[in-house]
Structure 1
């Protein structure tokens, strides 16, 4: 009974063992199949990689001269099959290592190389050019632009500095020139007062004084000398035979002569006061113009020491294939240097100030001569004077006055103020041209505004403008 049971257990354990063996055999077979499949797949990948490596090696044997000069790739003169076989053999050669499990035992059986995509075909040739230019063109274009801009960078920097400098100088320049114009205007007004004094001496521009009768109008001082000879004649006749009419005429002559001298004296006092006042006022704008001129000098000095613009210098320092320099055009830099031509020398300011003082002393000389003439003419009732001497006294006084007027009032080559104004206009020549162009531009802008205003009132034009604006947006 016990023996039978023992046999049954031995049979069951044997069946289990057989079953396990079968399962392991199936598993080993399955794994072996997958190992072989993996080896085949790995061999396929490795073969493809070796093929690509061999092809790349063959492709690396392009003609360098053709590529460097024209950017085209073409196979050189070497043997392509030899390169390919060598690369494949070297890659498939087994390394001498011990204790390794060679998963892939491969060797080169055979290889072949066939060249395609010949450069002589237009499609291949065109494609290579496109591929070359796709990368090279932007770089070449960038270098070309840089080559163009590099020499201009210093010019642009100089132009930028010059424009900034001239913008600051323009306002100062206009203020200074306005002050100088104000100075000349005050000098001219001062000179005009002496012309009023002259009109109280004689009416006409010259010095000719024809003889007059004492019953003729006596309005100016020159009429005293012109009527004096007739006054003496009437005086002598009245001594011979006293006549009330003659006495009345002589009294009227004396009264009008005194009035003429009084008017001259009054205008002399007024003219002298206004003359000195205006010339003192003329020194104020001259001093202000000198201060502004110094401000301009400081601005120019600051811009000479101004730090360079880093952006322009980066372009100038950028390396380029040709190694072209970036020297600035001398004409551009000279524009900033010529800014100093806008300055006025201290010598000119000193000359203007000296001319104002000279104008003050010149009128004093004329006034002294007028005072001497009035002192002589105050004896207009003295019958023992010389009529020609009185005329000569008036004429010499007029010459002294005319000398002043020619220098400071009347238009002519001897006018000092006109000479100064002409020198200023010569210096302002370019600026006058600029202002003329600005004026023309403003007029053109006004015309454009008027045209736009007319168009804006037109319904059709408004619709067209809206369409245009819509397209722009």
Structure 2
């Protein structure tokens, strides 16, 4: 009984319960303390990794930043910097009690972004230029063009319409000239084949009475008398028969020729009518479409300097409208072609009348010489033949009323053609001089060393494209060149199209599409451009030409190379010169329309405006070769530099992977770096541990469930953190 009494006794029960509950509380408290220390350690490790990756990124390539404003990892070993920064987080200077005694188990740094990636490169360029662009494009460039928006729109519409109409007009007039020539040939065939025979026929009719008298005299001779007129009678008969026969044959041949030439003439007339209808369609279409909306969008801008879309030649805009309205007068009515077609048919019909009269005369000759006295019939048929012939000749011969009227009408339409053709010939000649100069630039000699540099840059560009998986079939883009086969009018039309694209691009920039602007400004201010004063040296020869040739090294024309992408040393500079001339031609042609408005005839106005544009553009190129700048227009008196025009050409040609690849290639050439190996983003991986104070076995069980986000190893909690960071 005594032993069971012990267990049933109440003495000391509270103490045992207290011990048990206290042990449980200590267990839970220990567990919570280590969990709290692990949580604090996790945060400290994360902060250590962040500090380490920032320290690793602090080592950037100074030359790359100073020259191009780009950040790329360089200098001190990035893994070492990461490890040092992390270590400083574990070992602060104070030596007191430390709740956490973390240590680094392992660490390393990897790259996850490189500057050679086009997206990364472009992002850095945008960030660099967005805050550091040295000029405001809106004020410096666009505001100078806004006052010209209306005038350039009108000029572009006029050149586009009149140049297309001019080509069709010349073709139409060529066809109509051929129709008239066929009419003249028909009349000439008539005159040459029948004219003399008609006169012979008239003579035969007038000599018939003598023929009758000869026959009567011989018939009334005496029995012993010989015929006195046998030879004369036979001669007359032979002459009459042969004339009638030849007249009939020639008339039939001429009539057949008329029909063949009529068919040719009608086919040419139909072609002329088609060209005429095409002229009308083009005039109507271009009136409805107008010019590019870039002009209108620029015209609506209100800029910071107070400029607005009011053009500089407000009172003179009517000159463009007058020229386009006058284009309607160049179009012939459909009724005109119908009347001409009827005229061709009437000419053949009139020839048929002559043929019929000749046939009637031949029958009268046969009857008259066959023994019947048909002097009246013969005389009448010869008279009808003569009347039919002269009626035809009066209308269609050299001075015929129909032919003369057609010739006068043709001459009236072409009254200004001689002066127009003279203007066009002069414009083509002067344009040829510009082409020769551009060709001389492109063919500059002694470029062996420069060519090697361009080849090396080309390889870098191709490698960049390949890395970014953006290579295309043609690695060279090229710019606008002056095609030697094109005439001045077509060249002016292309110039107007180029400036329309430029206005659209500027409107985009002003309306908020800023990324292309920032990239273009980066190109302008971070790369070198050609000295425009050297343009004039190429035509001087001797030492001046040698100076031009020696200046074609890549380091003197980086902007031009990035813009056009030719890998021949002189090609990019020649392209820039040609494009600069093209833009000046568009602006000066606009002025030429206003200056030539009094000439009246639209095609004459066009030719005079183009000649004015070419002559003044050549003078502008001389000015920019001397001063480096040129006045935009007499209607917008603002000075633009060669560099400003390069800005416009960058807008004109747009961007893309190939331009970015060329920028990277030039940077790599100048810095001797390979941007595909230059890191801009790093990932740092830190594996660290902290000692556990209580119950490591129990914490290991918790770790196995994944609740702690790490693992327990040798009485230490271990975790891995990966942090990524980049320059932007």
Alignment match of 1:337 (pick from 314, 319, 325): 325
Question: Could you tell me how far 1:416 is from its partner in structure 2?
Answer: 0.7
Closer, same or farther: CA 231–445 of 1 in aligned 2, 3 Å: farther
Moved more, 234-243 or 326-335: 326-335
Question: Could you tell me how far 1:437 is from its partner in structure 2?
Answer: 2.9
1:220-239 CA distances to partner (integer Å, 9 max, x unpaired)? 32332233232222222212
1:278-329 CA distances to partner (integer Å, 9 max, x unpaired)? 1122110111111111222222222123254344334322325376734871
Closer, same or farther: CA 200–243 of 1 in aligned 2, 3 Å: farther
1:156-184 CA distances to partner (integer Å, 9 max, x unpaired)? 11111211222222222221111111211
Question: Could you tell me how far 1:145 is from its partner in structure 2?
Answer: 9.0
Question: Could you tell me how far 1:146 is from its partner in structure 2?
Answer: 7.4
Does residue 222 of structure 2 align to residue 237 of structure 1?
no
Q: How does 1:49-448 map to 2 (within 5 A)?
A: 149-203=145-199, 220-241=200-221, 242-244=225-227, 246-306=229-289, 308-319=291-302, 321=306, 325-326=310-311, 329-381=317-369, 385=373, 390-391=378-379, 393-412=381-400, 415-439=401-425
Question: Could you tell me how far 1:403 is from its partner in structure 2?
Answer: 0.9
Contact 1:200 1:263 in 2 (8 A): no
In the alignment, the residues of structure 2 paired with residue 423 and residue 302 of structure 1 have an alpha-carbon distance, to the nearest angstrom, of: 28
Contact 1:407 1:416 in 2 (8 A): yes
**Which residue does the alignment assign to 2:527?**
none
1:45-90 CA distances to partner (integer Å, 9 max, x unpaired)? xxxxxxxxxxxxxxxxxxxxxxxxxxxxxxxxxxxxxxxxxxxxxx
Alignment match of 1:469 (pick from 512, 532, 545): 545
Closer, same or farther: CA 318–291 of 1 in aligned 2, 3 Å: same
Contact 1:257 1:380 in 2 (8 A): no
In the alignment, the residues of structure 2 paired with residue 189 and residue 313 of structure 1 have an alpha-carbon distance, to the nearest angstrom, of: 54
In the alignment, the residues of structure 2 paired with residue 463 and residue 149 of structure 1 have an alpha-carbon distance, to the nearest angstrom, of: 31
Contact 2:245 2:362 in 1 (8 A): no
**Which residue does the alignment assign to 1:91?**
none
In the alignment, the residues of structure 1 paired with residue 142 and residue 237 of structure 2 have an alpha-carbon distance, to the nearest angstrom, of: 96
Contact 2:202 2:382 in 1 (8 A): yes
Contact 1:235 1:383 in 2 (8 A): no
In the alignment, the residues of structure 1 paired with residue 233 and residue 362 of structure 2 have an alpha-carbon distance, to the nearest angstrom, of: 19
1:232-263 CA distances to partner (integer Å, 9 max, x unpaired)? 22222212325245223322321222111111
In the alignment, the residues of structure 1 paired with residue 248 and residue 393 of structure 2 have an alpha-carbon distance, to the nearest angstrom, of: 19
Moved more, 462-471 or 299-308: 462-471
Contact 2:298 2:309 in 1 (8 A): no
Moved more, 149-158 or 314-323: 314-323
Structure with the larger strand share: 2
Larger Rg: 1
Moved more, 234-243 or 148-157: 148-157
| Structure 2, unaligned runs of 5 or more | 1-134, 436-537, 550-728
Question: Could you tell me how far 1:198 is from its partner in structure 2?
Answer: 3.3
In the alignment, the residues of structure 1 paired with residue 232 and residue 326 of structure 2 have an alpha-carbon distance, to the nearest angstrom, of: 74
Contact 1:191 1:408 in 2 (8 A): yes
Structural RMSD (CA): 3.8
Closer, same or farther: CA 162–270 of 1 in aligned 2, 3 Å: same
Question: Could you tell me how far 1:368 is from its partner in structure 2?
Answer: 2.5
Closer, same or farther: CA 257–463 of 1 in aligned 2, 3 Å: closer
Question: Could you tell me how far 1:267 is from its partner in structure 2?
Answer: 0.5
Closer, same or farther: CA 435–145 of 1 in aligned 2, 3 Å: same
Structure with the larger helix share: 1
In the alignment, the residues of structure 2 paired with residue 434 and residue 464 of structure 1 have an alpha-carbon distance, to the nearest angstrom, of: 33
Contact 2:351 2:392 in 1 (8 A): yes
1:332-388 CA distances to partner (integer Å, 9 max, x unpaired)? 223223222221111111111111122222222333233223322333436764758
- Count matched residues: 307
In the alignment, the residues of structure 2 paired with residue 440 and residue 310 of structure 1 have an alpha-carbon distance, to the nearest angstrom, of: 33
Contact 1:197 1:271 in 2 (8 A): yes
Contact 2:364 2:374 in 1 (8 A): no
In the alignment, the residues of structure 2 paired with residue 325 and residue 351 of structure 1 have an alpha-carbon distance, to the nearest angstrom, of: 49
Closer, same or farther: CA 158–323 of 1 in aligned 2, 3 Å: closer
Contact 2:150 2:295 in 1 (8 A): yes
What TM-score results when the alignment is normalised by the length of structure 1? 0.56
| Structure 1, unaligned runs of 5 or more | 1-138, 204-219, 450-461
Contact 1:366 1:401 in 2 (8 A): yes
Closer, same or farther: CA 278–160 of 1 in aligned 2, 3 Å: same
1:185-226 CA distances to partner (integer Å, 9 max, x unpaired)? 2222222232235324345xxxxxxxxxxxxxxxx3233223
**Which residue does the alignment assign to 2:478?**
none
1:74-108 CA distances to partner (integer Å, 9 max, x unpaired)? xxxxxxxxxxxxxxxxxxxxxxxxxxxxxxxxxxx
What TM-score results when the alignment is normalised by the length of structure 2? 0.38
